[in-house]
Amino acid sequence: MDSSNHSSLAERLKTEARRLGFELVGIAYAAPADGFDQLQDWLARGFAGEMAYMHRQNEARRHPKSILPDVKSVVMVGLNYNPSTISREPAASAGVAPIGKFKSALAVGSRLNGKVARYARGADYHDVLREKLDRLLAWVRDEIPEANGRGVVDTAPLLERDFGRRAGMGWFGKNTMLINKRLGSYFLLGALLLDTELELDAPFTPNHCGTCTACLDACPTHAFVAPGQLDSRRCISYLTIELRGPIPEELRPALGDWAFGCDICQEVCPWNRKAPADSEARLQPRPELEALDLIEVLGMSDEDFRRRFRHTALWRSKRRGLLRNAAIVLGNIGDRSAIPPLEKAISDPEPLVREAAQWAIEAIARRADLSSVRSL
């Protein structure tokens, strides 16, 4: 096929990707990842924490041929997940109130609620992205029957941000997120690897963060050791999702009311202030996921957890992790009405849950003692 036909295919592929709901699409050359050396330094400094898969898949991340041996083009796509119902007042979520003043999680009626990161409030984004990528690959095969390809989400060893920047989608923010001038950072990345040469997009070279340090300043756990450098071991998203053991006690109060993930560094980003809402119905927030009923979560059996979260991103934390998080958030809120369910959780079969429940009871008691002293 001559180059003019390749160019035509690239444009038609982008049109099809947008028809499928991808708001961003760009094509990058399948060469070694630009940030592979930085990844080596990040791993060597221990910033991956207990994410052992990052070490196991390290070499595979060097080049996309580890996923598709004959890859020639990497089609990067971005799926907006910014819900239409979000608050436009990021400053309210940017800080963590000191002990005795934490009220943001006291919500509907008498329930005690925990927050969930925006990307996880609807259906599991892996399923949504894979389905769309499969349809895009099917379209390519209709156009070129001999084409081979593979759609991948973040479970594959691909440095998606690197190829997103190379495909012209945006720049790396100081919070390490890929930022697009129109969508901000509220979008999910996927990739379609093809053994077909396509017309390439120009890499995105400017950086539009300027002197802004809002994301760095807002992080309650001080997870950014420098602009663009994240120590995952201190990141709320890592602590509530990836960490399988106890959350370090010194970091627990800084979790505030985040029960799964965290959006703080994105909420304060100026580029997200006017980000458009998404149109993918499956990613729209479900009422029961916008604010988790922590008492309900704390009482969940294995079967309850499976039935409620099996097809959501919260499945990643497993039951023990989510119940651990729920207990810690209840401890941070400090409402004495949470003590009976926490006392019941002390007999949970999972040691991780028992320890967190005991800590939460003690945290509530300390807060009550402090309130008594202040009232004298």
The residues assigned a catalytic role are: 154
Separation CA 4–CA 319 (nearest Å): 53
Please report, for residues 14, 129, 280, the alpha-carbon distance to residue 19 in angstroms, rounded to integers and kept in the order given.
Answer: 9, 14, 12
Neighbouring residues of 54: CB distance < 8 A, sequence distance ≥ 6: 43, 48
Q: Which residues pair with 187 in a beta bridge?
A: 80
Three-state DSSP state, 296: helix
DSSP letter for 274, please.
T
Neighbouring residues of 64: CB distance < 8 A, sequence distance ≥ 6: 30, 33, 71, 74, 158, 163, 191, 193
Chain centroid to CA 80: 13
Residue 166 near residue 44, CB atoms below 8 Å: no
User: DSSP letters along 27-67, please?
Assistant: EEE-SS-TTHHHHHHHHHTTTTTT-HHHHHTTGGGG-GGGT
Contacts of 52-58 with C-beta under 8 Å, sequence gap 24+, read: 57/157
Residues 252, 255, 261, 267, Cα dihedral to 10°? -160
> 2: number of CA atoms within 13 Å, CB side?
1
